[in-house]
Structure 1
Amino acid sequence: MSKIKIVNAKIITPDRIMDNGILLVQDGVISGIREEDEEGWNGEVLDAEGAYVSPGFIDIHVHGGGGADFMDNDVDAFLHIAETHARFGTTGMLPTTLTSDQASLLETFRVYEKTIGIHHDGARFYGLHLEGPYFAMNQRGAQDPRFIRNPDPAEYEPILKQYKHLIARWSAAPELPGALDFGRRVQEEGILVALAHTDAVYEDILQGLDCGYRLATHLYSGMSGMTRKNAHRYAGAIESCLLLDEIDVEIIADGVHLPEPFLKLICKIKHKDKIILITDAMRAAGTADTVSVLGGKTHGLDVIVEGGVAKLPDRTSFAGSVATADRLIRVMVYEAGVALTDAVQMMTSNPARIIGVDHHVGSIELGKDADLVIFDDNIHIKKTMIKGRVVYES
């Protein structure tokens, strides 16, 4: 029976920061949260040295890192990405696909299934995030236009039948022909439906919401804003998602995709419970690479990395980020002016709730898994723990 006592810690709980707190972990589960020590402890003692102890970060939109991409369709790539992001505080993630040909997507399912149950020192996988291929061509961003198409039951029904247990969320554009039926079917299978790479206006978003589209994939990126038709103004997807309380929004808070004014605007309009931080990281995250590939090595798109972000070589579009979770927290605190507790919530309990794993992770509470991050005042990661086991130490 493993027992760990973390002492001299600033523990970030759901309602406050507990200074000089004590956290007890038994068999990978949080068994005590205290402000005063007790005699007679017969387990391991870990001194946090005055650093913060936070719930582990949960990234529900991540494509790669450490030089690998999930669409390399290789088990070692999956595990390497998970280990790379654990170095930056991520303890759980949704491996994310890109718009691709059908054969590549089916191979991703098969490879992901092989990773389940493999012991590794990286972030836990909570299911796949399928980003595409049902997108608006005008809002494709760095998604490969060769593979963008409308929802087709002949395509997605066999996927749901065989692989629904592997899918946590699916992103699509709700205004496309067949997208509302698609949303209803995906939701029926207990899969989170998100709106993404969309030219939808307010009326489309309302219809989508009724059919399960309740998360906005990387708000502002690949998303319509206010538009005119016959001289009349129509609210685009951006304004609609900010306005509608029923929709959660995820944001790439790297300070580049969304500079300071946008981050502050989102935080001013949306409640802190409805904002989710994501990296949208591609394979160059966690490396010093200046030239990379977005997507699988075989069919991916060439990109360059400069100014802290990945771009298409002609610089017409960003191509995923090179951010890691710790950077998101730093940007939100030091650039957007968000309280540390709120920024942590946006990277822990909020994503845990929307993908349905908040019963066992996402916050420091009795009985939850000891997926924890210890970081200093500059949000530099000192330790990452998964179920009480240290998987990274600086």
Structure 2
Amino acid sequence: MSKNDIKIINGHIITPYRVIKNGELFIRNGKIEAVCEGKADMEDAQIIDANGHYIAPGFIDIHVHGGGGSDFMDGSTDAFVQVAETHARYGTTAMLPTILTSTKAEIIRSLALYDQVVASTVRGSRFLGVHIEGPYFSMQQRGAQDPRYIRDPDPAEYFEILESSPSIKRWSVAPEKEGALPFGQLLRERGILPSIAHSDALYNDVVHAFENGYSLVTHLYSAMSGVTRRNAFRYGGIIESAYLIDEMDVEIIADGRHLPPELLKLVYKIKGADRTALITDAMRAAAMPEGRSILGSATNGMDVLVEDGVAKLPDRSAFAGSTATADRLVRTITEVADIPLIDAVRMMTATPARILGVDSYMGSLVPGNDADIVIFDQGVNIMMTLIKGRIVYDRDERTSTDITKEKITI
């Protein structure tokens, strides 16, 4: 037996397509070695007793700005660490740090800080690359994006940004903007995911965007066009396009505030769990008390008001990012939208992993995958979070080293 051999017993294991009741999961050297119905033949492994709780893949958040009082645009490596540690407490084992519409210099600075952080060991959620949200957006659909910095795609600018860091994995753009289609092609050529966001595009615009690489819709329903009339004729917008294009993926902020239960049900009914990813879109006020806060950089961001479980612009004219954590997303759609737990978990794990192209090693509890695991109770309250087999959060404040001392019962 290796000192890194761990067996999780007495739990209900959530796989992408079924729940194994009273199953056992074996971890060796940070990887999942076996998932068993009944007893696993690894009696010498150190034991974590799940005590009848659910054992699921770690949650993957592909759109998150901050949490715990920090934002990825704060200009410090400490902010990255604070966000990672905060969200790990709520079951997120991997995330795509997201930076907002801002100046070219600030975007490049944030990318440089990310590259500096990933070169070191961070205790908390794993970073999967950077998502740039903006600045090539529609002014009419800007939402809480700072209008001072919204502009058209500029090859001189975006080539400089692209060359500044190898860590860009996703870029959200309004595809109707001049130059957006060749920009989408360029992103695809470089292995970067182009996503439709903060856009007033019509159906034909979206079809052309899809043909040029835009395969994901950023926070469906938020800051985008629906059915509209122009010269008395009706046209479908981004929302209808996302439903009509079967291969288009969508993400939703399932915090119970951005979308009501009926829209959560509609997205699930039409797009299904395999094409819908849950995202927090969390800003710095996630896991913090309500009150005044800042969206984006602490020194150059926008003032917002956090109340009713969501961030709003001070005049309450629009939402300004969410304060959700991943456990709240899963809990919300199961409780208010009647979505089965197994599908809710898939929307927080396997689906975002596929969208990002990391499903070969994370997002599901299968042998060979990284042992990114979350254990939660019937109410989706997080009991324990493990990343590559190492405990990064435990409700009772135990650590990985405690496993070697005695059996852990959750």
User: TM-score, normalization: structure 1?
Assistant: 0.98
Question: Which amino acid is 1:156 matched to?
Answer: Y
1:275 is aligned to 2:290: no
Unaligned 5+ runs, structure 2:
396-410
Cα distance in structure 2, aligned partners of 1:79 and 1:376:
27
| Structure 2 partner of 1:248 | 249
| Structure 2 partner of 1:71 | 73
The answer (yes or no) to whether the contact 2:58–2:372 under 8 Å persists in 1 is: yes
Distance 1:38 1:380, change over 3 A: closer
Question: Which amino acid is 2:222 matched to?
Answer: S
The answer (yes or no) to whether the contact 2:134–2:171 under 8 Å persists in 1 is: yes
**Could you say what secondary structure the match of 1:213 adopts?**
coil
| Structure 2 partner of 1:129 | 131
Distance 1:352 1:38, change over 3 A: closer
| Structure 1 partner of 2:398 | none
In the TM superposition, residue 161 of structure 1 has moved relative to its aligned partner by 2.4
| Structure 1 partner of 2:13 | 11
Residues 117-146 of structure 1: per-residue CA shift (max 9 Å, x gap) = 322220000000000000000000000000
Cα distance in structure 2, aligned partners of 1:38 and 1:274:
34
Mapping of residues 251-330 of structure 1, within 5 Å = 251-330=252-331
CA RMSD of aligned residues (A): 0.9
| Structure 2 partner of 1:358 | 359
| Structure 1 partner of 2:56 | 54
| Structure 1 partner of 2:399 | none
In the TM superposition, residue 216 of structure 1 has moved relative to its aligned partner by 0.2
Cα distance in structure 2, aligned partners of 1:349 and 1:323:
20
Distance 1:239 1:47, change over 3 A: same
| Structure 2 partner of 1:115 | 117
Cα distance in structure 1, aligned partners of 2:163 and 2:42:
54
In the TM superposition, residue 242 of structure 1 has moved relative to its aligned partner by 1.7
Pairing partner for 1:156 from 148, 155, 158:
158
1:28 is aligned to 2:41: no
**Could you say what secondary structure the match of 1:120 adopts?**
coil
| Structure 1 partner of 2:404 | none
Cα distance in structure 1, aligned partners of 2:40 and 2:214:
49
| Structure 1 partner of 2:381 | 380
In the TM superposition, residue 277 of structure 1 has moved relative to its aligned partner by 0.2
Question: Which amino acid is 1:150 matched to?
Answer: D
Cα distance in structure 1, aligned partners of 2:164 and 2:109:
13
Question: Which amino acid is 1:137 matched to?
Answer: M
| Structure 1 partner of 2:46 | 44
Cα distance in structure 2, aligned partners of 1:38 and 1:156:
52
In the TM superposition, residue 34 of structure 1 has moved relative to its aligned partner by 1.0
| Structure 1 partner of 2:335 | 334
Question: Which amino acid is 1:236 matched to?
Answer: G
User: Which one is further off, 68-77 or 116-125?
Assistant: 116-125
User: Which one is further off, 260-269 or 377-386?
Assistant: 260-269
Question: Which amino acid is 1:167 matched to?
Answer: I
Residues 340-362 of structure 1: per-residue CA shift (max 9 Å, x gap) = 00000000000001111111000
**Could you say what secondary structure the match of 1:146 adopts?**
helix
In the TM superposition, residue 162 of structure 1 has moved relative to its aligned partner by 3.0
| Structure 2 partner of 1:100 | 102
In the TM superposition, residue 40 of structure 1 has moved relative to its aligned partner by 5.9
Cα distance in structure 2, aligned partners of 1:38 and 1:95:
37
Mapping of residues 204-215 of structure 1, within 5 Å = 204-215=205-216
The answer (yes or no) to whether the contact 2:25–2:40 under 8 Å persists in 1 is: no
In the TM superposition, residue 291 of structure 1 has moved relative to its aligned partner by 1.0
Residues 255-303 of structure 1: per-residue CA shift (max 9 Å, x gap) = 1100111101111111220000000000000111311000001110001
Distance 1:393 1:157, change over 3 A: same
In the TM superposition, residue 39 of structure 1 has moved relative to its aligned partner by 5.6
Distance 1:108 1:38, change over 3 A: closer
Residues 39-75 of structure 1: per-residue CA shift (max 9 Å, x gap) = 6622211100000000000000000000000000210
Cα distance in structure 1, aligned partners of 2:184 and 2:14:
36
Question: Which amino acid is 2:39 matched to?
Answer: D
Cα distance in structure 2, aligned partners of 1:50 and 1:271:
28
Distance 1:188 1:339, change over 3 A: same
Cα distance in structure 1, aligned partners of 2:268 and 2:352:
16
Cα distance in structure 2, aligned partners of 1:209 and 1:39:
49
Cα distance in structure 1, aligned partners of 2:304 and 2:164:
33
The answer (yes or no) to whether the contact 2:290–2:307 under 8 Å persists in 1 is: no
Distance 1:9 1:234, change over 3 A: same
- Number of residue pairs matched? 393
**Could you say what secondary structure the match of 2:82 adopts?**
helix
Cα distance in structure 1, aligned partners of 2:279 and 2:55:
20
| Structure 2 partner of 1:236 | 237
Cα distance in structure 1, aligned partners of 2:243 and 2:283:
26
**Could you say what secondary structure the match of 1:138 adopts?**
helix
Cα distance in structure 2, aligned partners of 1:194 and 1:65:
23
**Could you say what secondary structure the match of 1:143 adopts?**
coil
Cα distance in structure 2, aligned partners of 1:40 and 1:60:
35
Percent identity at matched positions? 56
The answer (yes or no) to whether the contact 2:141–2:224 under 8 Å persists in 1 is: yes
In the TM superposition, residue 15 of structure 1 has moved relative to its aligned partner by 1.8
In the TM superposition, residue 244 of structure 1 has moved relative to its aligned partner by 1.0
| Structure 2 partner of 1:189 | 190
Cα distance in structure 2, aligned partners of 1:39 and 1:299:
57
Distance 1:57 1:282, change over 3 A: same
Cα distance in structure 1, aligned partners of 2:339 and 2:259:
15
